[in-house]
Chain A
Amino acid sequence: MYRYDEFDSKLVINRVKQFTKQIKRRISGDLTEDEFKPLRLMNGLYLQLHAYMLRVAIPYGELSSKQLKMLAYISKKYDRGYGHFTTRQNIQFNWPKLIDIPKILRNLAKVEMHAIQTSGNCIRNVTADHLAGLLPEEIEDPRPWCEIIRKWSTFHPEFSFLPRKFKIAVIGCNEDRAGILVHDIGIKIIKRKEIGFQIFVGGGQGRSPFIAKKISDFVSKKNLLTYLEAILNIYNSLGRRDNIYKARIKILVNELGIEHFKKLVEDRFKLLKQKKTALKGIEIDKIKNYFKLPSLETVGKINPEFPKNPNFEKWLKFNTLNHKVKGYKIVLVSLKSKNYPPGDMDYKQMIHLAELAEKYSFGEIRVTHEQNLVIPHIKITDLFEVWKILDSITLATPNIGLLTDSICCPGMDYCALATARSIPIAQKITNFFEAKKKQDEIGPLKIKISGCINACGHHHVGNIGILGLDKNGQEFYQITLGGSSKENASIGKIIGSSFSSSEIIPAIDKILDVYLEKRDNKNQTFIQTLEQIGLKPFQEALYDNN
């Protein structure tokens, strides 16, 4: 994984010093809250419902054991003993005090971490496929490209006061596990005569969801940053600033039309083409070197006999994947157990998992876009042992990709913007469907829950999406069906009027009954079934009471 050089370390330490001074100026009154806000946001510091929230960057979701141990220390010392992993592969602390922030940032800097550009109207932490570098079908590992983009976008003097936040994701496989089509810019590594990039622009969720449109079918490696710079320049100059809800690039692309927007970008790109952002092969290779696989030894036994244990077998089926190196498996760690809010992890779990990764996986851990973790390189012969440890710390819930593996925003339990709670709904779903054992019969299905129209829980792209609303002080939940953030990305359709918090679980259950009844066979997905039968049978089951 990437390691800081002296330059990177100095940069982060300088930033901590700068932000510490800014906090002092805020406390002394030299900076007003309005002036301080964009500065603190660019350092990941939000003011939430009850307290400050600090969002720490985990570039492209890659963590070391040492870093996870530091996150555990910070959770215990400065927060309430836990952290929350986000859909953009970062971690949030919900209860730090303003006065402790410089200390937290100094501690993070010790393990090559920071909170830079995890918030604010700038280019945010770049995300990637959490299985980057691990699969045989991958064209090229996206992580070095994320790192190149991370460097280019960090403290970019021109693009730090954009009309609105800006999110970029990169994938290297055909299967999209990073949701590139719901990002401001989605980048897909492709192979033509040479390897380069397809670029998508203007995707996003929030109150006006859009699927990104292809702006370029091929950008060479050399020109990647120049092309991104051209897009950002057009956005910075023409993006709307009169209305916060219309300021994202998706609105600009939609208002101009993709062809017009593309022409502006291409014209700009031509002007910039021979300029300084052109990448040299030697620079690319230097970054790539950081992302080589650890030296995985060839394992003799690749079909070991495991002790008979149904829980282990279920976990093996749902929570492990084949690694490109024979004899190894990729282990997915579910953060969707019924005991914790989705994405939450307590400090003891962090310490144990860090130790486990140190012992069995070269000290590497990853955060997924679906708020789970990955231990990337587990020897097949170690699987039973690894499962036992994970099980003992409530991290072996065998539900990856199933309906209780839902994405969920913090909702009204933490967030100042939320109009309804979302965590209790996720927990109700987990408790209800785990008890009924229905989810195994259903198979892969994405439920995504947002506590307000800003859609941080990605409800628009859930196969079943749940949006929390406020109706005269009561929490209500609207259901959308058919969303997806995969390569066939689509925005879900609203099924009808919303449900109260006591009605929502039975409503989901009815939807699933329709699916189970109508699907042709076990392999037909929820989306395929919906495409085949339409919304009507679901609406009839939910609303036809006569």
Chain B
Amino acid sequence: MIITEKGLIKINSYNEIVNLDEYQKFNCVLFTKSFFLENITKISSQKKNGLLLNSDDKIEDISQHIIIFSLINVRFLNFKDGRPFSIARDLREIFSYKNEIRASGQILPDQLIFLLKCGFNSVEIDKTKKDTWLNIFKTDSRQDYQR
């Protein structure tokens, strides 16, 4: 389940895959950076390709390929580890990535507004916490000093 930047709750349509057979099977796929680098020639632009990054993954070495991804999903290893905020900002501001950026992993609902401000479009959420996320989306202030 995901919450979008418009405050909508949707089903996550990406299938996390680990090998090429699975890659062939689904049209909407999510794979790690190492899977991508190993199978770079077999990635089809006909599919919806989602790249899964961890907090500690670097993006410089795949920056020339990012146009192929319809989604980049950055997985928080821990909500206290703020590297994904910088990853999203870099994707937007340094690498001009225009498609969807999603946050997943261990995130607090209280981080939602910061995520959206850094360029994330959606967040994978625990469905039991749906109401907290929606409430924070509606009530947390978006006011800030940054440009």
Contact = CB atoms under 8 A, between A and B. Distances in A.
B141 A15 contact: yes
A158 B89 contact: yes
Interface residues of A, number: 37
A126 to B, nearest CB: 13
Contacts of B89: 158, 233
A271 interface: yes
A275 B140 contact: no
A236 B80 contact: no
Given A158-B118, A161-B85, A233-B86, A14 B93 contact: no
Interface residues of B, number: 27
Contact of B132 (A30, A159, A161, A236): A30
B143 A11 contact: yes
A157 B132 contact: no
Contacts of A22: 110
A236 B81 CA distance: 9
Interface in B107-130: 108, 110-111, 113-115, 117-118
A419 interface: no
Interface string A23-51: 00100001100010011000000000000
A245 to B, nearest CB: 16
A161 B82 contact: yes
Interface string A296-320: 0000000000000000000000000
Nearest to A21: B139
Contact of B82 (A15, A17, A159): A159
B143 A276 contact: no
Given A157-B117, A158-B89, A277-B147, A14 B79 contact: no
Contacts of A11: 141, 143-145
B147 A237 contact: no
Contacts of B8: none
A162 B82 contact: yes
A154 B117 CA distance: 14
B110 A39 contact: yes
B29 to A, nearest CB: 28
B129 to A, nearest CB: 8
B33 interface: no
B146 interface: yes
B83 interface: yes
A236 B141 contact: no
A162 B83 CA distance: 8
Contacts of B113: 157
Given A15-B141, A39-B110, A233-B86, A157 B81 contact: no
A121 interface: yes
Nearest to B108: A35
B93 A275 contact: yes
B94 interface: yes
Given A154-B145, A157-B113, A237-B86, A18 B140 contact: yes
B80 A271 contact: no
18 contacts: A10-B143, A11-B145, A15-B141, A17-B141, A31-B108, A121-B80, A155-B146, A157-B85, A157-B118, A157-B144, A158-B114, A159-B82, A159-B85, A160-B82, A233-B86, A236-B86, A237-B83, A276-B147
Given A157-B117, A158-B82, A237-B86, 15 more contacts: A14-B141, A25-B132, A31-B108, A35-B108, A39-B108, A121-B80, A154-B145, A158-B85, A161-B82, A163-B82, A236-B85, A236-B86, A241-B83, A275-B93, A277-B147
